[in-house]
């Protein structure tokens, strides 16, 4: 079945916002084994919306729209969808109920205008909006389907997961199940060439994905039941595990590297402390973004100046003088020092040149040392990263998290 | 003139990447006063690309394509564009020169295959690729124009700014000049209603924009010369300044709030130190992302545990006991303590409940206190933020930066 994504919103055409809705829907639909051949964005203009909708219905089986359901524009979009699908716009009793419940939960007084949101194309199935007020809807006619979703991503993604996903699954006799293997420390092209034979597999399929600073393999099986699909997936995941074990940090598509690291430290009852120079608190902040990180981190230091490195972490003055702040020796002393002063099991010390200025021939922009102290040993990793100040710092944080995972795991 | 953006790339349709190219181009075109009525995404498939291109050329004057110029797909896309524009595909001498120069600069051996990248629709103007190898091109016929750009954002954005922007400007007798006024601490709807009369202006136009945690007004004038356009813009910017002075942190669209704050502190020769609990280093990291921030920050502390707040910052034990870690009193002591121990002019203390757990009826998730010490005075701001753990923390960082700006400015 061919699906087209049609996003309605002048703010996208003006470049005010990035179209994350299209990305989210495309990814979800790909996971279901449905083909998306086109994404279209059109503004809040009736003629152009009608024309875009006609084109989409002509070349696709299902059109998923986002946006244009707000209190000021809802009539318009819904009228046009109704027209394109050959339906009248009528008050939908179930949508009205949903709407009253939602407005009540927001303690809002219901105005006549609100009730316009309960009007849907005749025979449409309303979709509950757990994050806003306007219901979505599924409209079917002559084998074509339009699924109308709200524009705000928080409303749209929840409605998709709660209502649209189960609906789309009923359209196929097959069950599609995916499993994502997440890796760090290996580039996408290396991963893909190492998995070359697996990528040629037909059911399950294996597809490589590059994400910022990490790589993924997604295994997808199509079968008559979930159990059967899992039966196809598991041996393939085992093969991937055997080949890439060292790089794999999670088999859960929603688990971030930092969440995996926090879980690992929790399980091992370990505490960590960071001493950061060029990353300036980004590693600590990334760890602390994981709920419950207070179990594994009490404190951390941003020691940007040499003086702070000496005073807070006890990095010897002569080592800073002799090797310079950006050196293996200083990274090592920072890691040991922060573990000691914070009484942490693991100490991380990061020092580097994030640019754009401050680079020399010997110590260019992108040179970073990450020290890791654990169980009486200190290791230092030297990075030579490309990119801008932010991406050098972000990549450093990811490598530091990877080092922690490998040291403990 | 109507422009359509046509992005070619199966990876966008699979949801592997967000279409930032479309956003970039839309924003740039809006700044030029050009109307974008549709954005379309199509995969690397000849029939569907041809059909999308035909639809686009039918409803628009200029079609800007991105992607599909890579070494494996270039023939395909260029052939289809040539066909749609009624041109033959021929070797372009200037494109060949560009290509050889680029491959030479990458120290790459030139293969026969490389030379395919020098083939363009007959009569096309090649566009130099300062970041990659494949040239872009402008193809004109019968009043229609196709501008082919590469897919990687680093190549595409540079080529657009260097070659496409000057070209598009020649298509109009008018000069379009924009000025963006960036504000913090005021919501978009409040800003828009306060600027209601200005937003109705015709030349210059005034348009409100909501960005994460900030609001902007963009003033755009159309005139026969840049000087004339600036003459229209300046009185309007003055009006905005008068009305919103307190909220304005920059008149430079590319200047971030943190960059404005670092500039302000530098100009006043002030040093800052941060003590962060729930933000966990995010404020320090944000400040340190500004090049040259070493002039204004020597060190900072992540004091996540109560013990760290006592030990590093000297927050009195009985205050922590009496008021709890998330309190006005503790934020105030953290700010004063960090300024003292770091010998900084400004001290910031942040403590709050970022969730998802840990909230109570009295102290719900989203409750954050930000203390600011400066010149012997301490002020504390109480926030009750909505959102998830990350957005609560990000919003807190923006408010802290705003407080610094207001305290010093």
Residue B74's pLDDT is: 53
**In DSSP terms, which residues pair with B256 in a beta bridge?**
none
Q: Cβ separation of B280 and A303 shorter than 8 Å?
A: no
Using a CB-CB distance cutoff of 8 angstroms, which residues of chain B are in contact with residue A300? 280-281, 301-302, 304
Q: What values do phi and psi take at B67, rounded to 5? A: 90, 170
Q: Which of B20, B210, B285, B340 best probes binding to A when mutated, by most A CB atoms within 10 angstroms?
A: B285
| Mean pLDDT, residues A341-353 taken together | 98
Vertex A10: Cα angle to A8 and A16 (nearest 5): 115
Q: Cβ separation of B298 and A279 shorter than 8 Å?
A: no
Lowest mean pLDDT among A136-150, A380-394, B62-76: B62-76
What span, in angstroms and rounded, lies between the C-alpha atoms of B176 and B333? 51
By C-alpha distance, the chain B residue nearest A17 is B23
Which residue among A26, A38, A41 sits closest to B15, beta carbon to beta carbon?
A26
Q: Cβ separation of A15 and B38 shorter than 8 Å?
A: no
- Tell me, what DSSP letter sits at residue B7? E
* Min Cα separation B381/chain A (Å): 21
Q: Cβ separation of B22 and A41 shorter than 8 Å?
A: yes
**A235 token code pair:** 């041996």
Lowest mean pLDDT among A231-235, A404-408, B357-361: B357-361
The overall average pLDDT reported for chain A is 93
- CA dihedral defined by B212, A297, B276, B187, rounded to 10 degrees? 20
Q: Which of these, B301, B280, B262, B234, lies nearest to B389 by C-alpha position? A: B280
- Tell me, what DSSP letter sits at residue B25? H
The overall average pLDDT reported for chain B is 93
Confidence band (pLDDT; 50, 70, 90) for B263? very high
Q: Tell me: pLDDT of A375 over 80.
A: yes
What span, in angstroms and rounded, lies between the C-alpha atoms of A252 and A16? 33
Q: What's the number of CA atoms in the CB half-sphere (13 Å) around residue A400?
A: 37
Q: Exposed, middle or buried: residue B52 (CB in 10 Å: 0-12, 13-18, 19+)?
A: buried
Q: Which of B2, B30, B38, B272 best probes binding to A when mutated, by most A CB atoms within 10 angstroms?
A: B38
Q: Cβ separation of A303 and B299 shorter than 8 Å?
A: yes
Asked if residue A386 lies in contact with residue A356, where contact means CB atoms within 8 angstroms, the answer is: no
Using a CB-CB distance cutoff of 8 angstroms, which residues of chain A are in contact with residue B38? 13, 40-42, 48, 52
**In DSSP terms, which residues pair with A185 in a beta bridge?**
none
Confidence band (pLDDT; 50, 70, 90) for A76? confident
Q: What pTM does this model have?
A: 0.85
Q: Cβ separation of B297 and A304 shorter than 8 Å?
A: yes
Which residue among B25, B39, B300 sits closest to A302, beta carbon to beta carbon?
B300
Which residue among B28, B210, B302 sits closest to A299, beta carbon to beta carbon?
B302
pLDDT digits (tens, 9 = 90+) for B155-182: 999 999 999 999 999 998 888 888 999 9
| Mean pLDDT, residues A7-35 taken together | 92
What contacts B109, CB < 8 A, 6 or more positions away?
A: none
Q: Cβ separation of A357 and B291 shorter than 8 Å?
A: yes
Q: Which residue has the higher pLDDT, A146 or A209?
A: A146
Which residue among A293, A299, A303 sits closest to B308, beta carbon to beta carbon?
A299
Asked if residue A366 lies in contact with residue A353, where contact means CB atoms within 8 angstroms, the answer is: yes
Lowest mean pLDDT among B9-18, B312-321, B372-381: B9-18
Q: Cβ separation of B291 and A28 shorter than 8 Å?
A: no
Residue A116's pLDDT is: 82
Sheet strands (E) in B9-74: 35-42, 62-66
Q: Tell me: pLDDT of B110 over 80.
A: no
By C-alpha distance, the chain B residue nearest A281 is B281
Confidence band (pLDDT; 50, 70, 90) for B235? very high
Query: 3-state secondary structure string, chain A?
Result: CEEEEEEECHHHHCCCCCCHHHHHHHHHHHHCCCEEEEEEEECCCHHHHHHHHHHHHHHCCEEEEECCCCCCCHHHHHHHHHHHCCCCEEECHHHHHHHHHHHHHCCCCCCHHHHHHHEEECCCEEECCCCCCCCEEEEEECCEEEEEECCCHHHHHHHHHHHHHHHHHHCCCCEEEEEEEEECCCCHHHHHHHCHHHHCCCCCEEEEEEECCEEEEEEEEEECCHHHHHHHHHHHHHHHHHHHHHHEEECCCCCCHHHHHHHHHHHCCCCEEEEECCCCCHHHHHHHCCCCHHHCECEEEEECCHHHHHHHHCCCHHHHHHHCCCCHHHHHHHHHHHHHHCCCCEEEEEEECCCCCCCCCCCCCCEEEEEEEECCEEEEEEEECCCCHHHHHHHHHHHHHHHHHHHHC
What span, in angstroms and rounded, lies between the C-alpha atoms of A359 and A365? 5
What contacts B239, CB < 8 A, 6 or more positions away?
A: B198
Residue A71's pLDDT is: 58
Q: Which of these, B63, B39, B28, B60, lies nearest to B165 by C-alpha position? A: B28
What span, in angstroms and rounded, lies between the C-alpha atoms of B20 and B213? 20
Q: Exposed, middle or buried: residue A313 (CB in 10 Å: 0-12, 13-18, 19+)?
A: buried
* Min Cα separation A93/chain B (Å): 32
Vertex B19: Cα angle to A138 and B388 (nearest 5): 70
Asked if residue B188 lies in contact with residue B212, where contact means CB atoms within 8 angstroms, the answer is: no
Vertex A43: Cα angle to B19 and B22 (nearest 5): 20
Indicate the SS3 state at residue B345.
coil
| Mean pLDDT, residues A85-102 taken together | 92
| Mean pLDDT, residues A212-221 taken together | 91
Indicate the SS3 state at residue B136.
strand
Q: Tell me: pLDDT of A399 over 70.
A: yes
Q: Cβ separation of A298 and B305 shorter than 8 Å?
A: yes
Q: Cβ separation of A15 and B37 shorter than 8 Å?
A: no
Lowest mean pLDDT among A87-91, A141-145, A169-173, B340-344: A169-173
What span, in angstroms and rounded, lies between the C-alpha atoms of B391 and B409? 26
Please report how the helices B306-313 and B328-341 are oriented relative to each other, as an axis angle in degrees rounded to 10.
40
Q: Which of B39, B59, B217 best probes binding to A when mutated, by most A CB atoms within 10 angstroms?
A: B39
What span, in angstroms and rounded, lies between the C-alpha atoms of B405 and B272? 12
pLDDT digits (tens, 9 = 90+) for A277-332: 999 999 999 999 999 999 999 999 999 999 999 999 999 999 999 999 999 999 99
Q: Tell me: pLDDT of B131 over 90.
A: no
Using a CB-CB distance cutoff of 8 angstroms, which residues of chain A are in contact with residue B301? 299-302
Residue A340's pLDDT is: 98
Residue A72's pLDDT is: 59
Q: Tell me: pLDDT of A386 over 60.
A: yes
Using a CB-CB distance cutoff of 8 angstroms, which residues of chain A are in contact with residue B43? 37
Q: What values do phi and psi take at A314, rounded to 5? A: 70, 25
Q: Cβ separation of A39 and B30 shorter than 8 Å?
A: no
Q: Tell me: pLDDT of A112 over 80.
A: no
Q: Cβ separation of B356 and A297 shorter than 8 Å?
A: no
Vertex A222: Cα angle to A221 and A225 (nearest 5): 110
């Amino acid at each position: 079945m061919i699906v087209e994504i049609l996003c309605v919103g002048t703010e996208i055409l003006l470049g005010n916002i990035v179209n994350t809705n299209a990305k989210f829907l495309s990814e979800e639909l790909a996971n279901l084994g449905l083909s998306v051949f086109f994404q279209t964005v059109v503004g809040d203009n009736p003629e152009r919306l009608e024309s875009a909708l006609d084109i989409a219905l002509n070349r696709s089986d299902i059109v998923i729209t986002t946006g244009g359901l707000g209190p000021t524009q809802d009539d318009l979009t819904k009228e046009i969808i109704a027209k394109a699908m050959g339906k009248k716009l009528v008050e939908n009793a179930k949508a009205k109920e949903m709407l009253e419940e939602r407005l009540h939960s927001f303690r809002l007084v219901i105005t006549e205008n609100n009730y316009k949101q309960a009007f849907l194309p005749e025979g449409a199935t309303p979709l509950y909006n757990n994050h806003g007020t306007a219901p979505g809807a599924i409209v079917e006619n002559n084998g074509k389907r339009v699924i109308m979703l709200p524009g705000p991503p928080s409303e749209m993604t929840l409605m998709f997961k709660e209502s649209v996903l189960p609906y789309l699954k009923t359209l196929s006799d097959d069950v599609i199940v995916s499993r994502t293997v997440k890796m760090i420390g290996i580039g996408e092209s290396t991963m893909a060439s190492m998995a070359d034979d697996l990528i040629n597999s037909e059911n399950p399929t294996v597809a490589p994905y590059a994400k910022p600073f990490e790589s993924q393999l997604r295994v997808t099986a199509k079968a008559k039941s979930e159990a059967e699909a899992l039966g196809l997936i598991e041996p393939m995941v085992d093969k991937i595990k055997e080949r890439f074990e060292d790089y794999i940090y999670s088999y859960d598509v929603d688990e971030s590297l930092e969440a995996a690291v926090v879980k690992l430290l929790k399980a091992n009852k370990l505490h960590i402390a960071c001493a950061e120079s060029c990353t300036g608190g980004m590693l600590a902040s990334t760890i602390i973004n994981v709920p419950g990180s207070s179990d594994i981190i009490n404190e951390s230091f941003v020691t940007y100046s040499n003086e702070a490195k000496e005073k807070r972490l006890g990095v010897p003055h002569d080592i800073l003088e002799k090797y310079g702040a950006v050196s293996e020796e200083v990274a090592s002393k920072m890691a040991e020092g922060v573990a000691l002063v914070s009484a942490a099991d693991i100490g991380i010390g990061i020092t580097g040149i994030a640019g754009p200025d401050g680079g020399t021939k010997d110590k260019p922009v992108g040179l970073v040392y990450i020290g890791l102290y654990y169980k009486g040993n200190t290791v230092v990793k030297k990075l030579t990263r490309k990119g801008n100040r932010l991406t050098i710092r972000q990549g450093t944080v990811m490598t530091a998290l990877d080092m922690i995972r490998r040291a403990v795991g």
